[in-house]
Amino acid sequence: MEAMGVLGVGTVTRYAIFWAVRAFGWIAWLRNQADRAEGFNRVLSDLPVKAGQESQRRGALVQLGRHTWRKVRS
């Protein structure tokens, strides 16, 4: 919020972005926890030359659902 104010982002836009992140940021937080628990490395040393390669990761919603279910059960 403070950084957007310094950069001169409009008040309405600033608050809309802030509250969207507050409301839905937990999804990214849980996804990151699930990735770390499964050993997913976010820092890649050898990047592909083309962006046309299909991802080797499982579906994001399936992964998030399984991680959330494990958290709820424990």
Q: Who's near 31: CB < 8 A, 6+ residues apart?
A: 60, 63, 64, 67
Please give the Cα distance from 19 to 40 (Å, whole number).
Answer: 29
pTM of the model: 0.45
pLDDT in 10s for each residue of the chain, 74 residues:
899 999 999 999 999 999 999 998 888 888 888 888 888 876 666 665 555 656 666 677 777 788 888 888 87
Q: Where are the domains of the chain?
A: 25-40+58-74
